[in-house]
Amino acid sequence: MPTIHPLGDSALAIHYGEQIDADTNHAVLLLFEALRKENLPGVKDLIPAYSSLTVIYDPILTRQHSGSASAFEFLSHRVGILLAAPTGMPASNNRLIEVPVSYEPDVAPDLEYLSQQLQLPTEEIIRLHLSRTYRVFMTGFLPGFAYMGTVDPAIACARKMQPRILVPAGSVGIAGLQTGIYPFDSPGGWNIIGRTSVRLFDPDKPDPVLFHPGDNVRFVRI
């Protein structure tokens, strides 16, 4: 059973444990959707992660509209009711997004380094990176940045000891069992193995971000 903890005086977190897997993440997203539909008083934001969900709220508004002496107690009680209710397991959104990626040396500055560290040919690293469909577990760090996983364990690698001051937008990287794409030019410490021209964040669109938690992503070599 998930646990509920306060985060200061205006947020609470629901934790499903420390594991990273599709079933746990799916349970997080089910609760996320249920809470969105509940439209509880004072709730300002819902932030799903790998195995947790954070609820940001205005304690004054929550107390005023709920009639409760404690905003945390009211909201944690409502969350508990949702967790106990039979929800079934509806299918994931199953949205599959294909992302074209170039793995050429001029846009893959860490590919040769990883080849040496992992003792794998660069073509094998590329093949393994292309071999899986990745789940978007969560978004964060930058608008449009999706934490996707999991990569084949053979190409899992630690973040760089010395992050780069500038990683170009569209750079595709690996860190641990995760892979991701930098939506903007920014500092970063992931190992860069390719680049895409796909725009991940467009503020002029009704939905400005390309990836959402629960999406499936496949990389296609160009």
Q: How many domains does the chain have?
A: 2
- Examine the domain organization and report whether 214 and 179 are in the same domain: yes
Q: Is residue 76 part of a domain?
A: yes
Q: Is residue 15 part of a domain?
A: yes
Task: Report strand pairing: 3-6 vs 11-15.
Answer: antiparallel
Decide if pLDDT at 12 tops 60.
Answer: yes
**How many of the other CB atoms lie within 10 Å of CB of 213?**
21
132 and 185 both lie in a single domain: yes
| Same domain flag for 100 and 125 | yes
* 77 plus 145 within the same structural domain: no
Of 84, 106, 135, the last residue of a domain is 84
For residue 90, pLDDT over 80 is answered with: no
80 shares a domain with 147: no
- Beginning with the edge strand found earlier in the chain, give each strand of the sheet holding 178-181 in spatial order: 96-101, 216-221, 134-139, 146-149, 178-181, 171-175, 191-195
Cα 206–Cα 50–Cα 219 angle in degrees, nearest 5: 65
Could you tell me if 77 and 156 lie in one domain?
no
Rounded Cα–Cα distance for residues 74 and 76 (Å): 6
Radius of gyration for the alpha carbons in the chain, expressed in angstroms and rounded: 20
75 within a domain of the structure (yes/no): yes
18: confidence class by pLDDT, cuts 50, 70, 90: confident
Identify the domain boundary among 84, 119, 152: 84
At 93 the pLDDT is: 61
Please check whether residue 42 lies inside any domain of the structure: yes
- What is the distance between the alpha carbons of residues 165 and 162, in angstroms, rounded to a whole number? 9
DSSP string, 24-54: HHHHHHHHHHHHHHHT-TTEEEEEE-SSEEE
Same domain, 133 and 216: yes
pTM: 0.86
pLDDT in tens, 99-128: 999 999 999 999 999 999 999 999 999 999
Query: Is 184 a domain residue?
Result: yes
Task: Mark whether 121 and 200 lie in a shared domain.
Answer: yes
Q: Is residue 91 part of a domain?
A: no
d(CA 61, CA 107) in angstroms, rounded, equals 50
Quick check: is 90 in a domain?
A: no
Find the domain containing 147 and state its range. 96-221
Looking at the DSSP assignment, which residues form a beta bridge with residue 21?
none
Query: Considering 84, 104, 139, which residue would you say is the last residue of a domain?
Result: 84
Same structural domain for residues 66 and 108?
no
Note whether 64 and 104 are same-domain residues: no
Asked if 59 and 115 sit in the same domain, the reply is no
User: What is the chain's mean pLDDT, rounded?
Assistant: 93
Token look-up 């994931």 returns 92
Mean pLDDT of 69-96: 81
3-state secondary structure of 175: strand
Q: Are residues 151 and 196 in the same domain?
A: yes
CATH number at residue 36: 3.30.1360.40
pLDDT of 222 higher than 90: yes
Residues 6+ apart with CB under 8 A from 80: 4
